[in-house]
Structure formats: structure tokens, C-alpha cells
Amino acid sequence: MNNVHIVTLGCSKNDVDSSMMYSLLDKNKYQMVNEPSQADILIVNTCGFIDAAKEESIDTILESVEYKNEGRCKKVLLSGCLAQRYPEELIKEIPEIDGIIGTGNIDYINELLDRSLAGDLFIKIDNLNSAYIEGIRKEKVNTTEYVKISEGCNNNCSYCIIPSLRGKNRSRKIEDIYSEVEYLVSKGAREIILIAQNTTDYGIDLYSKYSLANLIKEISKIKDLKWIRVLYLYPDHFTDDLIEEFKNNQKLVNYVDMPLQHISDDVLKKMNRKTSKEHIIKTLKNLRKSVPDIVIRTTFIVGFPGESDDDFNQLVDFIKDIKFDKLGVFEYSKEEGTKAASLDEQISDSIKEERKNEIMAIQSEISAEILSKNIGKRLEVLIEEEVDAENYVGRTYMDSPEIDGVTYVHSAKNLEIGSFVQVDVVDSLDYDLVGEIIWILQIN
């Protein structure tokens, strides 16, 4: 029996892929372990989205190779986006790598393991547009679980390499997603987070119409499902029926993650974004009018080629005006193989950094102001961590795991991890809340 540990880098979509690989393991030969120090085989599930992610992936691969060189593991294998993008280069530069599977070849995980142990260098990166592997049932289920509703992307944004790493948009059938969610809930999941490269594109390839609202409506029928959260909601196909779901569906938390990237029409056009300043503002206003307590998270890219001072000032004014609840900023990363990489007027790193810092300083004040308005409110909190006998960490509907803030909860009562509790908010920090326990709603 060989112990296998997967180091997962990048986004939540990679988390799902790693979980699938663990579930596909031949249990007669391989078993999952939680720590790299316990592993005979290390798999690095890489990210290749932007320069910073690529650097982290390379550093992690080198650390894993050092494990191997020290005799602490037998094999080092790669999967994920960076492996899909640069298989030959990685093998050439890091010959200690023992095998690679690409993003469309997760079902070859056992062959990868078998052949590496046999001394074969197995590399398989074809089948980029492979069908989603249905019927996989996760063994260890958490209170919060991510569910991928589609794979790939058709947007072809000029700065983004993802379509060439993940293939075209391929939606899963509603009944298959329902079955997976039903299983996860039966095993204790209470929050389901729906993810894809672009969730608002869900269903157009299968049903000839944008069907995210219908999918949400269907999985809401699952009895013990408490929260549904949706990430990566692009604005171009944010339909009226989806807004109605946010307005009327009690299980769909009032949290919208909408990556906008910019607001200047000139920049949006160069980015090949399928939207406009007018459409974005209209969508945001409709959301807030229909769902007054909606929490909106977004991301922007600064320093895109040709981003003028006027373009940037438009973005700053827009952020000040809209006052997003949550906001992240990326400095433009010049990615080979993208249209934006060949554009003129590339912007210096120093200006990118200046613009990022300016926006984040503005957003820090906005976030603090918005959070302070929660003092005195009573909110529902999902308990996720025990700090000590009387202090816990959890999340409200306003916060997505890993990327947003938390709520610190004081309680003289013992709280179960995965329970939902009512909390009176007594203080706010820059990005987090502090509350006192009122009563327990649900313990799993």
C-alpha cells in the first residue's frame, strides 16, 4: 500500500479536481494521507493562471522534489493548469518529476501512479474537452462543499489563458448535479458552493438557454441543504430570473461574486469582455433594488495594456460610487499565448502596483464603513473553528470561505463545528466581525 498526498494550489476548481483524484484512487493500492511527510507519492495539483500562481507552483514542485531527493517520498507527480500548459518544459527543467496528467485526464490518476512506480515517465495532456466524470462520491464530506457545475470557458478574454488549459464550456446535467448535492447533504454538508469558470454561462450548451436559476431552484428542493452560494457570476448573462432567485429563494444566500475586471468601455473592449459600463451599472442597480441586503464581491485588473489615467480614474470613481462590500485587485499579468500579451502600451510594474495600492486603500475604508453598520445586528453564523473553550471562528452569509472575512464568536456554551448559531454583533474590524452567541439553531 502506497500513501498519496495531493498538494492543491490555486482556486476552488482545483480543490474539486483534487477531491476527485482522491476518490478515484485504487483503494487496493493507494490510500490518501493528510500530510506530505506521510506520503510515498506527492502529487502537486498546480495553478498556471498568472505569474504569481506559476511561481508558487514552481516553488512547491521544487519543495516536493527536495522531499524525494532526501528519500522522504518515492515519486513526485504533477496535475493541473501549469502541468497542462508546460509539460515538456517542466520535465526538461526539473527531471526529477515522475509523471504528468493534464486537466482533462484526471481519470488517468491510477495509471499515472502505477506507471510512475514501475519507472515509466507517463505524460498525458490530451482530451482537453473531456466529459465531466460523473458518479464520483467524496468519502470525507465537510459542512461546506464546492460543486463544479461546468468545466471550461467560452469567453476568450484577451488576458486569460484558461480556455486553452481547461477547454470549452461544458455544462453538467441538472440531474447529475442534483444527485451529487443530494449525496453531499446526506453526508453532512450544509453549505454548497456552486463554481465554474463562468457560472452564469451554465446550461447554454445543454439547454440552449442560460439555466443557472433553474439549477438553483432544483437543488433548493433538497431538504437538509441550508445555504447555496454561487461564485464567478459574470455580468454579461446575469439574467432577470437569476435576480428573482436571489430575491425569493431563502436557501440562496444573498451573496454575489461578480468578477468585473474593469469599468472603462475602452479597457473592457480590449479585454474582450462581453459587457459594458452601462450594462454593469444597470445590473448592479437592479440587484441592489431587488435584494437590498445583497453582498457584492468583485475583482478588478489594473495596469492592463493601454489603461490610461482616465481609464483608471473611471475605475476609482466607480468603486467610490458603488461601494462594493468585498473587492480584490490583480495587477495585470502578461501571459504568453494571450492576445493581450502582444498589445502595445504595456504598463510598468511600478504603475501597476501604485494603482493596486490606491484602490485597496480606498476599499479598506469602504469595507470598514460597511462592516461597522452590522454592529447591533443579529446574524446567523456557521461555526467552523474552535479557538479555545469560549471562542470560535465562523462565517455569515456575507463571507465566502478563504477569500473573505470571518466572524469571531464568544460563547460560554460549547459549540459544535458545523452548527448554525444566532450571534449579536458587538464590534467590527477592517474585514471581520465580532459577536456574542445568542442561541444555537442547528447542530449537525
Q: What is the pLDDT of residue 139?
A: 86
pTM of the model: 0.93
Please report which residue ranges of 305-432 form alpha helices under DSSP H.
309-322, 349-372
CB 174 within 8 A of CB 127: no
Q: What is the pLDDT of residue 127?
A: 85
Residue 443 has pLDDT above 70, yes or no: no
pLDDT tens-digit profile of 289-304? Answer: 999 999 999 999 999 9
Residue 94 has pLDDT above 90, yes or no: yes
What are residue 6's DSSP bridge partners? 43
**Which long-range contacts (C-beta less than 8 Å, at least 24 apart) are formed by 340-345?**
340/158, 340/159, 340/270, 340/271, 340/304, 340/305, 343/158, 343/270, 343/305, 343/306, 344/305, 344/306, 345/305, 345/306
Half-sphere exposure of 227 (CA within 13 A, CB side): 27
Question: Three-state secondary structure along 83-101?
Answer: HHHCHHHHHHHCCCCCEEE
Q: How many whole angstroms separate alpha carbon 296 and alpha carbon 327?
A: 8
Residue 412 has pLDDT above 70, yes or no: yes
pLDDT tens-digit profile of 141-177? Answer: 999 999 999 999 999 999 998 898 999 999 999 999 9
Rg (CA), the chain: 22
Q: Which amino acid is at 166?
A: R
Instruction: List domains and CATH numbers for the chain.
Output: 2-124 (3.40.50.12160), 144-372 (3.80.30.20), 378-442 (2.40.50.140)
Residue 444 has pLDDT above 50, yes or no: no
Residue 240 has pLDDT above 80, yes or no: yes
Residue 442 has pLDDT above 90, yes or no: no
